[in-house]
Structure 1
Amino acid sequence: MKAITGIARVLVGILFIFSGFVKLNDPLGFSYKLQEYFSEQVLDIPVLIPFALIIAIVIVIYELVLGIMLLIGYSPKFTTWSLLIMIVFFTFLTFYSAYFNKVTDCGCFGDAIPLTPWQSFYKDVILLVLILILFFNRKYISPLFAPASHRWIIFASFFACFAFCYYVLMHLPLIDFRAYKIGNNIPEQMQLPETAEVTYRWKFKIDGEEQVIENTGAYPQVDGEFIGVETSQEGAEMIAPIHDFVIEGPDGDITEEVLNAEKVLLIVAYNIRSTELEGYAGIKNLISEAKTKDYMIVGLTASGERLQQTLKKETGVDLDFYQVDETALKTIVRANPGILILNNGTISQKKHWSDSSEIEL
């Protein structure tokens, strides 16, 4: 049992540290996931939505430091109780999400390792078993270092976590796990994987009866009246990495025009109500320089015309905004506003508004 407890200690500790780090790398992304959980459609506690970022930061830092506490053997009783309470809560949450199909990705490992709701639940069940082993055998959790050093290690861990969190919030995630990372070509990311198999269900009326013919896409050569066709895809791998990037303007869809342009400056403000106005001083200078270098300049937002005009008056920014889905904009860049440079659809630069001076045109 001592050996089993030792193995469980290492597995749980490393998993908590890894899970905490990938979410701490992108606290805004985790806060968006918490907002989804707090919404009326899921847990129905919208009063917590304004505090989602603070809650996200507290949870991920505590999760990461708990993993460190377990590995160094700090206060086994406190540590195992904390682990048990946390895993019981998340096991309930992932079961609720999976059973009622409320949230399609729990966000347990951020964008690094997307999990389906049931995968998340099974992962939490395994963790629960491991933590129960630790809980009932805490006498085997011995200190890794001198007990007097534990408090300093934990203090240093908390300080390092808060410093790292502040850095990624004021800039961008240190590691970008999303499909919009630098170097990716957006049109390529909008294509289905080569391994994807789409099933077509062709409906015909033949001799007065409706018949369905299934294949992989070719129009069936049959004698009968064509009724319609349906397609189906199975598995997350059948979904294109980017599947909701559509830019709508007053004259219609301009997505292809933007993605085919040689030089594009994108200014992303997913929600103008909450955009950080101090960021537009640097953006104004960037826009002025981009105009002299023949860049296509495009603003992307999910906010309406009235808010767009208000922003232009308050900041003096000369920018035409186009409509894009808010969730897509939040995924593109973790800043409001954020800045991207596209070259023929490839993301060559991406910055937080506080780093606008680092954009090279």
Structure 2
Amino acid sequence: METNFTPTRKKNTSTVDIALGFSRIFVGILFLFSGFIKANDPTGFGYKLEEYFLVFQLDFLNDYSVWIAVLICGLEIVLGAFLLLGFYRNKVAWGILLLTVFFLFLTFYSAFFEVVSSCGCFGDAIPLTPWQSFIKDVILLVFVLVIFKYRARIQPILSNQTTRSLVSTLVILLSFGIGVYTIYFLPFIDFLPYKEGNNIPELMVLPDGEEGDIYEHLYEIKHQQTGEVKKVTDKEYMDGIWEDDNWEVVGEPTSKLVKKGYQIPIPDLLISDSEGNDVTQEIITNPYYNFVVVCTYVDKLSLADIIALDRINTTIRDLATDYNLRALLLTTSSPEVARGLQDEMDLVLETFYADAIPLKSMVRSNPGVLLLQNGTVIKKWSKITFPSKRELEEDYLAK
């Protein structure tokens, strides 16, 4: 019996170790990837969190959404790194399990009740629908349960306690530091349609050869003589039914997506002046240099934001005396609020208005600056990184 029992035990142990090892690598890399992608743009992830806050009536957290995003991103990176390194196995196993179950609940709730269109799991790099995210989390949970069950078998790859402590500290600092850095200095990689090098007018129209979404319109019609009620498509309705006086349309027609087509990257940019006139094309096709200062919410500017805006305004004023350029402020705030800021700070910027969604996509900073020419984004700066007059002249205007 001993002869038969020994190899069986080794085989079982080997199988468990293989499953545990694969699970650690898969989950660890996924957590690292997910964390780094979101930490690349915590401001954008913060906007996504605000959608969840709205759903669960936690609007009071909106002012802290970006820092909560940094916390979540950093936690994902730390857990992923520690799992691969084999550090703090019990705490890491519990952390990964709880976080996965939490995300599983959020994605299921979003998908089932159709309250959030995209989960934001991988930021804007890999947009996933709630159902896709839910399936991803279900698969992930299987591997997480393997890790949780056999967590006692996990061994750290570093035996020296001092070295482990040093590495752990560096991992934690790096994990949370990335998110903090990108809040102030913009994302390392810009996945948004207003990234440097993109031509805005080209991204606002359907390219030649592409087809947009195809919808089928449904009419509910009622026969006036028999009382029969049925639903017909727009094609069926136009194919003679509309000429029959016995049939009348009941209510408003509904639309159903039949085939998803090409998605225009910038479908929602509309810039208007204080009187509501559309000036979008006038601004985005300007052949000269355009300094577009994006200040999504004027009334939410902190003292540091106002100081930064004053520095940007002063630099642009100095440049305007020597160069043919246009400078404007884009905001979603009301004209009254914007005029108050204009008068208070003596801004040289022309003020125009746009919806918050495209403004938040333009630059992850409030305020932030885009340099445009012929509709192409030449450069983007946060409120901290906007350069001096001399640097702007040497790098752009004097060329």
The answer, yes or no, to whether TM exceeds 0.5 is yes
Deviations along 1:208-253, one digit per CA (max 9) or x if unpaired, are 99975559xxxx999977x999986567763211111110112511
| Aligned residue in 1 for 2:339 | 309
Greater Cα offset, 315-324 or 281-290: 281-290
Identity over aligned residues, as a percent? Answer: 37
Counterpart pick for 1:164 among 173, 178, 198: 178
1:16 is displaced (CA, Å) by: 0.4
1:183 aligns with 2:197: yes
1:161 is displaced (CA, Å) by: 2.8
| Aligned residue in 2 for 1:29 | 44
| Aligned residue in 2 for 1:196 | 211
1:330 aligns with 2:369: no
Distance 2:196 2:291 in 1: 14
| Aligned residue in 2 for 1:267 | 293
Change over 3 Å in CA distance of 1:243–1:32 after alignment to 2: same
Matches within 5 A, 1:33-52: 33-39=48-54, 42-52=55-65
Counterpart pick for 1:242 among 254, 258, 266: 266
Matches within 5 A, 1:270-289: 270-275=296-301, 276-288=305-317, 289=319
Change over 3 Å in CA distance of 1:119–1:266 after alignment to 2: same
1:196 is displaced (CA, Å) by: 3.1
1:136 aligns with 2:132: no
| Aligned residue in 2 for 1:89 | 102
Letter of the 1:271 counterpart: Y
Distance 1:102 1:203 in 2: 24
| TM-score, reference length from structure 2 | 0.80
Change over 3 Å in CA distance of 1:147–1:67 after alignment to 2: farther
| Aligned residue in 2 for 1:174 | 188
1:312 is displaced (CA, Å) by: 1.8
What SS is found at the alignment partner of 1:339? strand
Distance 1:91 1:166 in 2: 26
| Aligned residue in 2 for 1:2 | 17
Distance 2:347 2:129 in 1: 42
Whether contact under 8 Å (2:201, 2:285) holds in the other structure is no
1:146 aligns with 2:159: yes
1:147 is displaced (CA, Å) by: 4.8
1:200 is displaced (CA, Å) by: 6.1
Distance 1:135 1:223 in 2: 63
| TM-score, reference length from structure 1 | 0.88
Letter of the 2:266 counterpart: I
1:278 is displaced (CA, Å) by: 1.1
Whether contact under 8 Å (1:74, 1:147) holds in the other structure is no
Distance 1:67 1:77 in 2: 14
Matches within 5 A, 1:44-63: 44-63=57-76
Distance 1:62 1:235 in 2: 39
Change over 3 Å in CA distance of 1:22–1:211 after alignment to 2: closer
Letter of the 2:263 counterpart: I
| Aligned residue in 1 for 2:6 | none
Whether contact under 8 Å (2:206, 2:212) holds in the other structure is no
Change over 3 Å in CA distance of 1:318–1:49 after alignment to 2: same
In the alignment, structure 2 segments of 5+ residues that lack a partner are: 1-15, 225-230, 244-248
Letter of the 2:360 counterpart: K
Whether contact under 8 Å (1:282, 1:353) holds in the other structure is no
Aligned residues: 351
Whether contact under 8 Å (1:198, 1:231) holds in the other structure is no
In the alignment, structure 1 segments of 5+ residues that lack a partner are: none
Deviations along 1:253-307, one digit per CA (max 9) or x if unpaired, are 1111112111222111000012310112222233221464222322110001121
Distance 1:104 1:244 in 2: 16
Distance 2:113 2:166 in 1: 44
1:167 is displaced (CA, Å) by: 2.3
| Aligned residue in 2 for 1:299 | 329
Distance 1:95 1:146 in 2: 41
1:169 is displaced (CA, Å) by: 1.7
| Aligned residue in 2 for 1:103 | 116
Change over 3 Å in CA distance of 1:201–1:214 after alignment to 2: farther
1:186 is displaced (CA, Å) by: 1.1
Aligned alpha-carbon RMSD (Å): 2.7
Whether contact under 8 Å (1:182, 1:349) holds in the other structure is yes
Distance 1:231 1:257 in 2: 34
Counterpart pick for 2:126 among 80, 101, 113: 113
Distance 1:251 1:339 in 2: 23
Letter of the 1:54 counterpart: W
Distance 1:189 1:277 in 2: 32
Letter of the 1:245 counterpart: L
Greater Cα offset, 68-77 or 233-242: 233-242
Distance 1:327 1:18 in 2: 26
